Structure 1
Amino acid sequence: MKIKTFKVEQWMNDYENDAIYNLGETCIDSMTLGELIELSGQNPEKYLSALKDKRMSYGYIEGSPELLKGISSLYKNILPSQSIPTHGAIGANHQVIISMIEPKDNMVCVMPTYQQHYSIPESIGAEVRIVQLTPENNFLPDLNLMRSLVDNNTKMITINNPNNPTGAWIPEDVMTEIIEIAKSVDAYILSDEVYRGISEDGSYMMSIADLYEKGISVGSMSKIFSLAGLRMGWIASRDEHVINACRTRRDYDTVSCGQLDDLFASLALANKEKIAERNRKILLKNREILDEWVNSTPEVSYVKPAAGTTALLYYNNEMPSYELCVKLIKEKGVLFTPGSCFEMEGCVRIGYAYDSEKLREGLDKFTEFLREI
Structure 2
Amino acid sequence: MDIREFGVEQWMNAHETSARWNLAETCCDSLTLGALLELAGPGAGSLNDLLALRLDYGEIAGSLRLRRAIAALYRTRQAEEVLVTHGTIGANALVHRTLVGPGDRVVSVVPTYQQHLSIPDSLGARVIPVALRPEDGWRLNLDALRAAVTPGTRLIALSNPNNPTGALLDEDTLGAIVAIARAAGAWILADEVYRGLDAVGEGQTASVTDLYEKGISTGGMSKAFSLAGLRLGWIAGPAEVLRAVSVHRDYDTISVGRIDDHFAAVALEAKDAILGRNLALSRRNRAILAGWIASEPRVGWVPSGGGTVALLAIAGMMDSARFCRELQERTGVMVLPGSVLGVEGTVRIGYACASDVLREGLARLSDHLAAGPA
TM-score by length of 1: 0.97
Name the SS of the counterpart of 2:108 in structure 1: strand
Counterpart Cα distance in 2 of 1:154 and 1:125: 14
Which has the larger displacement, 4-13 or 361-370? 361-370
Compute the displacement of 1:299 (Å).
1.0
Aligned to 1:275: 274
Aligned to 2:215: 215
Aligned to 1:323: 322
Aligned to 1:86: 85
Aligned to 1:28: 28
Aligned to 1:6: 6
Compute the displacement of 1:49 (Å).
2.4
Aligned to 2:50: 51
Counterpart Cα distance in 1 of 2:300 and 2:85: 37
Read off the aligned partner of 1:234 and give its amino acid letter: W
Counterpart Cα distance in 1 of 2:324 and 2:365: 10
Aligned to 1:302: 301
Residues 111 and 131 of structure 1 are in contact (CA less than 8 Å); yes or no, is this contact kept in structure 2?
yes
Aligned to 1:246: 245
Counterpart Cα distance in 2 of 1:203 and 1:303: 19
Name the SS of the counterpart of 2:310 in structure 1: strand
Read off the aligned partner of 1:308 and give its amino acid letter: G
Aligned to 1:144: 143
Aligned to 2:103: 104
Counterpart Cα distance in 1 of 2:62 and 2:174: 30
Residues 26 and 353 of structure 1 are in contact (CA less than 8 Å); yes or no, is this contact kept in structure 2?
yes
Residues 132 and 139 of structure 2 are in contact (CA less than 8 Å); yes or no, is this contact kept in structure 1?
yes
Long gaps (5+) in structure 2: none
User: Is 1:184 equivalent to 2:183 in the alignment?
Assistant: yes
Aligned to 1:229: 229
Counterpart Cα distance in 1 of 2:300 and 2:248: 44
Counterpart Cα distance in 2 of 1:197 and 1:165: 16
Aligned to 2:94: 95
* CA root-mean-square deviation: 1.3
Counterpart Cα distance in 1 of 2:178 and 2:94: 22
Runs of 4+ in 1 over 4 A off after TM superposition: none
Counterpart Cα distance in 1 of 2:52 and 2:240: 39
Compute the displacement of 1:137 (Å).
1.3
Deviations 1:298-343 (A, max 9, x none): 1100001110000000001133111110111011111001101111
Aligned to 1:288: 287
Counterpart Cα distance in 2 of 1:203 and 1:109: 25
Aligned to 1:16: 16
Name the SS of the counterpart of 2:150 in structure 1: coil
Counterpart Cα distance in 2 of 1:272 and 1:241: 28
Aligned to 1:159: 158
Read off the aligned partner of 2:118 and give its amino acid letter: S
How many residue pairs are counted as aligned between the two chains?
Answer: 371
Compute the displacement of 1:179 (Å).
0.9
Residues 170 and 205 of structure 2 are in contact (CA less than 8 Å); yes or no, is this contact kept in structure 1?
no
Counterpart Cα distance in 2 of 1:187 and 1:43: 43
Aligned to 1:132: 131
Aligned to 2:368: 369
Counterpart Cα distance in 1 of 2:339 and 2:55: 42
Compute the displacement of 1:54 (Å).
2.0
Counterpart Cα distance in 2 of 1:43 and 1:186: 46
Read off the aligned partner of 1:182 and give its amino acid letter: A
Counterpart Cα distance in 1 of 2:50 and 2:332: 39
Name the SS of the counterpart of 1:152 in structure 2: coil
Aligned to 1:122: 121
Read off the aligned partner of 1:40 and give its amino acid letter: A
Counterpart Cα distance in 1 of 2:271 and 2:43: 18
Counterpart Cα distance in 1 of 2:125 and 2:320: 29
Long gaps (5+) in structure 1: none
Deviations 1:194-224 (A, max 9, x none): 0001332225420001111100000000000
Name the SS of the counterpart of 1:301 in structure 2: strand
Aligned-pair identity (%):
47
TM-score by length of 2: 0.97
